[in-house]
């Protein structure tokens, strides 16, 4: 018999979701706030019953599903925002995601100690990723000014040095939790997973493009691509940097560091999901430029999250960096190559 800590957490964050319905949702339609509030109330009710040891276990699944509806309603409202962030949808979105996380723990029967271990692990992974971003930026800021003042040199160098910083941070994370660096001579399985991963990530890319087009979703492009509109000559070197630096550096941090660290608190599947969420959040500044609509940023980060799932699965299937590094590097290199053809 497990304790009811997970249900209590889910109840509390669902209550936050209820409160969010009374905040400002402009310019989203009123029905979005109503749906979000109703879903949050349903989740709160289900988990209120379960946290007192009453009701059937399926109420945990029902409450978690209601949390999913809350998150979707909030996301739909964020897509309507063209100006400053409205408090209601943002609070509701985070509340919905928190209900999903706590609800998943409740469904699996994770007790208080397990939930707190997950909370600490997720927080630690987030802090490590933020620290890596800061370290990579500082390293680039120290080295790049020494290079010739030409975009074709400085932008690729900035990206390469930043990626090296991410990789060094990944090594520090591995060292901190006594993990191991998963680099070895690739075997047949590694090559197969890499090939399948490349095919899967581009199939996902085409599917996401179709979804964006069909539903006329707002879009935001990576800051590097925006810079390349006026300086397309930086893109071929960036394609090379993708293969040699971006893929290895970011995967050493996100997969070998963060995802391997999360294995100690979550199931391997759960670690892939949480690591991908952290990876997506770490790209916030890359897409949230001045004048970019919040909905466009949300679409971009969702795309990064889904792409990261492919990379996370590639690492989880092989316990080696070869496949995710190849998939990541090839994916980014092709994106830079296509952008060069478009801008030239």
- CB of 219 within 8 A of CB of 300? yes
For residues 194 and 277, state if they share a domain. Answer: yes
For range 45-66, the mean pLDDT? 95
Q: What is the DSSP string of 316-341?
A: HHHSSSHHHHHHHHHHHHHHHHHHHH
Mean pLDDT value of segment 84-105: 95
Q: Is residue 306 within 8 Å of residue 225, measured between CB atoms?
A: no
Clarify whether residues 218 and 256 are in a common domain: yes
Same domain for 100 and 166, yes or no, is no
Residue 106 pLDDT greater than 80, yes or no:
yes
C-alpha count within 13 angstroms, C-beta hemisphere, residue 122: 20
88: which 2 tokens?
A: 């209601």
Q: What 8-state DSSP symbol labels residue 84?
A: S
Domain holding 318, by residue range, is 113-343
Alpha helices in the chain (DSSP H): 5-20, 30-51, 58-78, 87-107, 112-143, 151-176, 188-214, 223-228, 235-241, 247-251, 260-262, 268-281, 284-287, 294-318, 322-343
- What is the C-alpha to C-alpha distance for residues 141 and 144, in angstroms, rounded to an integer? 6
Find the largest Cα–Cα distance for the chain: 69
Helices 5-20, 30-51: inter-axial angle, 10-degree rounding? 160
> Which residue from 296, 311, 249 is spatially nearest to 83, judged by alpha carbons?
296
pLDDT digits (tens, 9 = 90+) for 258-296: 999 999 999 999 999 999 999 999 999 889 876 789 999
CB 86 within 8 A of CB 25: yes
Write out pLDDT tens, residues 119-163: 999 999 999 999 999 999 999 999 999 999 999 999 999 999 999
Residue 97: closest CA among 73, 81, 121, 77: 73
Shared domain for 59 and 141, answered yes or no, is no
Residue 1 confidence (pLDDT): 43
Is residue 178 classed as helix, strand or coil in its secondary structure? coil
My answer on whether 181 and 50 are in the same domain is no
Number of Cβ atoms within 10 Å of the Cβ of 126: 16
Q: Name the token pair of 313.
A: 């699965």
* Percent of the chain residues past pLDDT 70, beyond the cut: 99
Residue 303 structure tokens = 């795309």
- In terms of domains, do 97 and 117 share one? no
Residues 6+ apart with CB under 8 A from 197: 310, 311, 313, 314, 323, 324, 326, 327
Model confidence pLDDT, tens digit, residues 216-225: 999 888 888 8
163 and 98 inside one domain:
no
* Residue at a domain's end among 93, 110, 127: 110
Residues 162 and 196 in one domain: yes
Q: Do 105 and 141 share a domain, yes or no?
A: no
Last residue of a domain, one of 110, 136, 155: 110
pLDDT at 2 over 70: no
pLDDT at 142: 97
192 with 129, same domain: the answer is: yes
Query: Is the pLDDT at 227 greater than 90, yes or no?
Result: no
Number of domains in the chain: 2
233 has pLDDT over 60: yes
**pLDDT for residue 175:** 96
Distance CA 57, CA 91 (A): 28
Amino acid 221: pLDDT: 85
Tens of pLDDT, residues 52-62:
888 899 999 99
- Claim to verify: residue 175 and residue 218 sit in the same structural domain: yes
Domain closes at, from 66, 82, 110:
110
Same domain, yes or no: 130 and 271: yes
Tell me, what's the pLDDT at 291? 78
Q: What average pLDDT is seen over the chain? A: 95
């Amino acid at each position: 018999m497990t304790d009811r800590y997970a249900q209590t957490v889910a109840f509390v964050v669902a209550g936050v979701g209820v409160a969010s319905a009374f905040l400002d949702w402009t310019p989203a339609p009123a029905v979005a706030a109503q749906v979000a509030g109703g879903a949050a109330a349903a989740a709160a009710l289900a988990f209120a019953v379960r946290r007192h040891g009453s009701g059937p276990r399926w109420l945990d699944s029902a409450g978690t599903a209601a949390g999913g509806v809350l998150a979707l309603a909030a996301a739909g409202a964020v897509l309507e925002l063209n100006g400053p962030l409205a408090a209601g949808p943002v609070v509701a979105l985070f509340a919905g995601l928190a209900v999903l996380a706590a609800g998943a723990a409740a469904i699996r029967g994770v007790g208080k100690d397990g939930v707190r271990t997950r909370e600490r692990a997720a927080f630690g992974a987030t802090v490590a990723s933020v620290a890596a971003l800061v370290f990579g930026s500082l390293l680039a800021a120290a080295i790049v000014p020494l290079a010739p003042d030409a975009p074709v040199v400085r932008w690729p160098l900035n990206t390469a040095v930043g990626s090296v910083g991410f990789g060094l941070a990944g090594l520090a994370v591995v060292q901190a939790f006594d993990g191991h660096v998963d680099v070895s001579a690739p075997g047949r399985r590694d090559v197969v997973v890499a090939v399948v991963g490349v095919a899967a990530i581009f199939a996902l890319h085409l599917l996401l493009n179709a979804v964006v087009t069909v539903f006329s979703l707002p879009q935001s492009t990576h800051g590097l691509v925006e810079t390349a509109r006026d300086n397309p000559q930086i893109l071929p070197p960036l394609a090379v940097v993708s293969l040699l630096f971006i893929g290895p550096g970011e995967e050493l941090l996100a997969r070998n560091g963060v995802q391997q660290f999360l294995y100690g608190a979550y199931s391997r599947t759960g670690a892939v999901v949480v690591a991908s969420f952290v990876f997506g959040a770490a790209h916030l500044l890359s897409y949230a430029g001045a004048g970019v609509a919040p909905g466009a940023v949300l679409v971009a980060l969702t795309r990064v999250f889904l792409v990261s799932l492919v990379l996370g699965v590639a690492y989880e299937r092989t316990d080696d960096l070869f496949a995710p590094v190849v998939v990541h590097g090839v994916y980014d290199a092709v994106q830079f190559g296509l952008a060069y053809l478009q801008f030239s």
